[in-house]
Structure 1
Amino acid sequence: MAEHLEAALPVGEDPRRYARALAKVWEAALSGEALPKRPRPVIGESWQRMRRLGVDPDHGNEPEPLTPADVAARREASGLAGVLPVLRAGLVGVAEQAAHIMVVVDQGGAVLWREGSKAVRRRADGLGFVEGVCWHENVVGTNAIGTSLVARRPIQVYSAEHYVRTHHAWTCSAAPLRDPRDGRLLGVVDLSGPAATVHPSTLALVDAVARLAESTLRTAHLAELDRLRGVALPVLSKVPGRAVVVDRHGWVAATAGLAPVERVSLPSGCAPGQTWLPALGSCVLEPLPGGWLVRLAREADAPIRVVLDDSTLTVTGTTGSWTHSLSPRHAEILHSLAVHREGRSAADLAEELFGDRARTVTVRAEMSRLRRNFGSVLARAPYRFADGIEVVLTRKGNRADTVQ
């Protein structure tokens, strides 16, 4: 489903008049007076975060810039260097013509690349908006780059929507860049310029180029899988029994004796040897160039033990353990299934999670994601932990409770 893009400047609105109205809202918000108009939700939520963090609304914090060597290292580690040609082709020309600069930051908010209008780059220099400086909102206040990193969605910020007064003369539009292999946030690409250059379509352009960059990463990943498949096929032909070859992220290149699957969840920092994978059970991992050979071992005689806390699920079998980080929603679902070992219907979970038994489609979608990771641990009809699995609930600072 396409993501809704909300431009900062309403269509048909005069930019100068709208900037003056935003300034009155900003002043009232900081002074504690009644707001003449409520800011957009994404802006209001960010302002609240800034107040809690104690960000100076007049000047922001003063970030310590990275050294050139640190910038070079962050560029290499970011995973974004490969898409820079796509970002440049789609945005730098527009930036130069429209008095903007293109800025690319990593997941921590560090400015890695900055290109575009020379005049705007000089203005950005005076603001400290330079390569090597952190532009996260907890450092420089509400802005499209930093707030997009927090909200994980495309955002346009105009004039006095910026929390820090010195940024009110700017407009910026940013979109997140994600690794298609695992959904990990890599960073953000942004177009920034003087407030007078604001345009509602800028955000759509930035988002479209960001999606194109992600498509480039996806194509490169498919090429890597093809290369791994060339290694996998002769290896699998010599393996007795069932096996699968996966890349470092668990994406499947080839299988032998198993139904085709798209991805296998691997433990973080997995190493050669015996392990236990939720989707496959007891396995032996052997390294391959660019991935792993996963051979299915004999079924374990001992029962499987699942330990749940507020943010992780750990599965332990006879050959070792496997830990997976959980989103708050997935943790809530699994805790409910642990308490109700007899199982829960989609309607039961919808009522418990949302107070609305009709929201079963959302529940089924979440359960589908969970079962992709924990296929051998979870059962369905009704949703429940599989029979014979010992489940232990823990809360930080509290004792563990075993649920049979």
Structure 2
Amino acid sequence: MLTSDFDYDLPPELIAQEPAPVRDGCRMLVMDRHTGALEDRIFRDIAEYLQPGDLLVANETRVMPARLLGTKRGTGGAAEVFLLRQHGTPLENKSALWEVLVRPGKRLKPGTGAVVDFTDAAGEVALSAEIVNWVEDAQKGERLARLSTTLASLDEALHAVGHTPLPPYIKDYAGDEELYQTVYSRRESSAAAPTAGLHFTPELIDRLREQGVGWETVELEVGLDTFRIVDEDDPTKHVIHTEYYSVPQHTVDAIAETRARGGRVVAVGTTSVRSLESAWDAEAGTVTPRDRETTSLYLLPGSEFHVVDALVTNFHVPRSTLMMLVSAFSSREHIMAAYAHAISERYRMLSFGDAMFIH
């Protein structure tokens, strides 16, 4: 097995630069994971492939306003701070340490007193970031920044100055940032959206519930490494990123009930897959509750799936761990044939693109 086995030619014009006009009106490629048989459908048709007693499990994380554009104090030079994750506990309501990426890196080094100020819509400084240290074992030059504000809280300040980050392959999108959030998102904890869920509408979820399909959630805090391609020729040498995830008791109970009545567990997105399979307790032979634990689960062809029976997903970046995950869920041959079909049929690809349903 080589990383190049999961590569394919992605025409740049097929990378969706904006969401579908109607969330559940996008296209959906349906694939039988065992035979590779394909059908071209519309996303709302997923109701025809779900049975009473099936259970959908979605990642309810919400994308933070993590992209901060400001100026370096003292010089006025443009600077960007990208929030990755909070470091430790808040120092107080108006101050906290965060792990961040910065640009320009050479001018925002720890120990130099570098501070970046961010202004609100009225032009007033609402948030400041002092670069105080390097992150231990950093892979991409991550730094620790002390965020502080004069507003009532950091949360208020972030929403006054921050922007929802979009994937690097989406250029110049100026539409509604809320369209890069799922309709069921809750706590802001991610740097990227769990994009398979972008296709669901409240009306579709209600219709599925009326049909007897269950709906439960997990939370996995999606990091920027979700966009990272595998550089090693041997994919087994790749060190996958670590993310925090939670699986609540009510979801564990719903999975047990689904299994008892012969229904299927349908993961909405690869992040839900990683959460559910990470929560599998082999000794107990069941899923167990998890509360913000870490996972570095790496699913490759040959990996076993204990919890997930079907998968709603998007089309993924070539040579990514996500290509390997969906190949593990079906087979490399079936997935590559499906992608070749999608490209020939001009499906819209990646985060804002069309969907797949693998069952």
Structure possessing the higher radius of gyration over alpha carbons: 1
TM-score per shorter chain, which class?
A: under 0.3
Higher relative contact order (CA 8 A, sep 6+): 2
TM-score by length of 2: 0.22
More strand by percentage = 2
